[in-house]
Structures are given as C-alpha cells and as structure tokens.
Amino acid sequence: MMIDLSLIWFGIIIFSIMMYIVMDGFDLGIGVVFPFIKDAEERDVMVNTVAPVWDGNETWLVMGGASLYGAFPLAYAVITDALAAPLTLMLIGLIFRGVAFEFRFKATPAHRPFWDKAFISGSVLATFCQGVVVGCLINGLPVSHRAYVGPELIWLDPFALFCGLGLVIAYALLGSTWLVMKTEGQLQQNMARLTIPLLAALLVVMGIVSLWTPLAHSFIATRWFSLPNLFWFLPVPVLVLVCSWGVIGSLRRGAHYSPFLLTLMLILLGFSGLGISIWPNIIPPSVSLHQAASPEMSQAFMLVGSLAIIPIILIYTFWSYYVFRGKVRTGEGYH
C-alpha cells in the first residue's frame, strides 16, 4: 500500500495549527483580558506568566505556514491572495504586540500606559484577524484554473467578521483560565469571576456559528446531517456541554488546573467541528488536498526534515514549560 504523503502533510499542518491555538491562544488571550485589570503590579504578573515562553509559541504558526507553502502550494497561493489584508494585519498585530511586550518592562511610569494599550491592541487585532481567516475558509474561496477569482474584499463578510469576534472571546477565555492556573490571590479571583461570562459568551457564539454555517452553506449541511457523518459529529456538541459544565464546576471547587485544561478541550472541539465541515477540501468548496498538493518527491524531501525538527520543537516546548511551571507571584519576573 502506498503512503499518502498529502494526508500526512495535512495531518502535520492540522497538528501545527492545534499546537498554535493551544500555545499562543492563552498568550494572546492575556492581552485581550488586560483591560479588565487596572493594577500595575497585577498586570506585570499577568505578563510574567508567559514571559519565559511567549516567543516560542509562535513557532507553530511558522511551522504551519511553511508546511502549507511546501506541501500545498496551490492552497498557499490562493489563501495569501484572497486574504492578504487580514493576514497582513495579523502579522502587524503580532509584531506590534511583541514590541509592546518587551518595551513595557523598560518604559517609564509615564510611558507604560501607551505600551499597555499597544499590547492590548496588538493582541486583539491578531486574534480577530485569525478568526476572520477561519471564517473565510468556512465560507469558501472561489478558485478557477488554479487561481483565486473572488472579490478583493471577500474577508469583509458578516460571517467571517463574526468568527473574528468569536475567536477573540475564545482566546480571552483561554487567557483567563491560564491566569487562574498561574496566579493567586486577588488576581486569580478576578480571573475566575471573569471566566464565567466569557464561557457563556463563547457558548452563545458557538451556537450561532453552528446554526449559521449549515443554513448558509448547503454542502456543509449535507455533510453534517448525512450518515455516517452525523454519528461522527454528534459527540461534539455533547462534549462541548460536558466541558463547559466541568469548567463551571471546577471554578466552584476552587480548582486551579482543571478550568484551563477543560477550556483547551472546548476550543479543540470547536476546531474539530471546522475539520469535519471542510474535509477533504483544503480550500472549500472545491479544491481537495490532493488537487492542491505539490509533487510527491517534494513532499517526501520535506518530510524527512520535518520528522527530525518536530520532535526537537516538542521537547524544547515541554522542557521550557516544565522549567517555568508553578505559580507566578508579585515581584517575580524574567526581564
């Protein structure tokens, strides 16, 4: 039996995206929930919870983009052509946020508020644009003769913009539960209180998207509700409710780790719903992964290097989080 290299590379890209959501989601989420905390020392603690690891989190974004470019060049070309504006704004947000992250530690008290606002703005902009890109992919991108043929402002779509708002809420929830896990005292209590309305807002967003998607796209409705796909999709909403109830229950018990881990599961369930909706297309509604794939020789050549690099990245990631495990307290810092 021949090895399906396109399927392997699709799996690598999905894994990279999932790792990025896990690693950088709560990182960006801290910037989103920053406005809810006014105390300067507590803001320093919030930033210090990710200071040792934040710059490595975006490795997975680079990994996913490079893999898409090498393994599925048609998909890379169409996506970057159709969504150049939101992708560029996302990168600007990430860059501006990174600069603000470092500069706020060196700034004078008079200049600190400016860099705090820059940190917030960069986090929200990057997150919102990522959600817009996801919404556009669910909507589908028109392709003809291996080129994008849709309008320039296809990303200014109500559904895509709503997905951008939804991802801001999702990352904010990741950020608040991360801070419940990594902080203590008043800051932890504030984040625990903030988590409940964020969770409620996310469930509303997920419900609206779950109704909007099949109503707007008949091919997705057919995929969701036809057999045997229905049996694969049915556990997703059930598990979403179970995880949500688990987050609420763990907060009431005063648990530290469970809210974050259950929130991660909640986000990954939403991501799995996206995968079920577009599979086996890499550019919905018409371009499959095999149609967008590069030659097998190219995929095989890249696979050798990737299989060597990915374990190294995973080991480094695990070790860095292990070294900086535990609570972060006022006065502790890494700058």
Question: 5-33 and 40-48 are packed helices; what angle lies between their axes, rounded to 10 degrees?
Answer: 170
Per-residue model confidence (pLDDT) at position 89: 93
- The answer to whether residue 333 is domain-embedded is no
The whole domain housing 299 covers 5-324
**Interior/surface letters 35-48, b for 16+ CB within 10 angstroms, e for the rest:** eebeeeebbbbbbb
Per-residue model confidence (pLDDT) at position 272: 74
Q: What are the per-10-residue average pLDDT scores of the chain (335 residues)? A: 77 85 85 88 85 76 84 86 90 88 79 87 93 86 80 87 93 92 88 93 89 76 71 80 90 88 87 73 77 83 86 85 78 58
Give me the count of residues in the chain: 335
- The answer to whether residue 29 is domain-embedded is yes
Per-residue model confidence (pLDDT) at position 125: 94
Phi and psi at residue 163, to the nearest 5°: -65, -35
- The answer to whether residue 329 is domain-embedded is no
**Interior/surface letters 104-131, b for 16+ CB within 10 angstroms, e for the rest:** beeeeeeebeebbebbbebbbbbbbbbb
Per-residue model confidence (pLDDT) at position 331: 63
Per-residue model confidence (pLDDT) at position 323: 80
- The answer to whether residue 120 is domain-embedded is yes
Per-residue model confidence (pLDDT) at position 332: 61
Q: How far apart are CA 140 and CA 145, in angstroms?
A: 16
Per-residue model confidence (pLDDT) at position 305: 84
- The answer to whether residue 107 is domain-embedded is yes
Tokens of 4: 């399906």
Per-residue model confidence (pLDDT) at position 87: 92
Total domains in the fold of the chain = 1
Per-residue model confidence (pLDDT) at position 1: 47
- The answer to whether residue 331 is domain-embedded is no
Taking Cα atoms as reference points, which of 275, 292, 295 lies closest to residue 224? 275
- The answer to whether residue 332 is domain-embedded is no
Per-residue model confidence (pLDDT) at position 2: 66
In degrees, rounded to 5, the angle at the alpha carbon of residue 170 between the alpha carbons of residues 76 and 257 is 120
Per-residue model confidence (pLDDT) at position 283: 80
- The answer to whether residue 335 is domain-embedded is no
Q: How far apart are CA 132 and CA 326, in angstroms?
A: 34
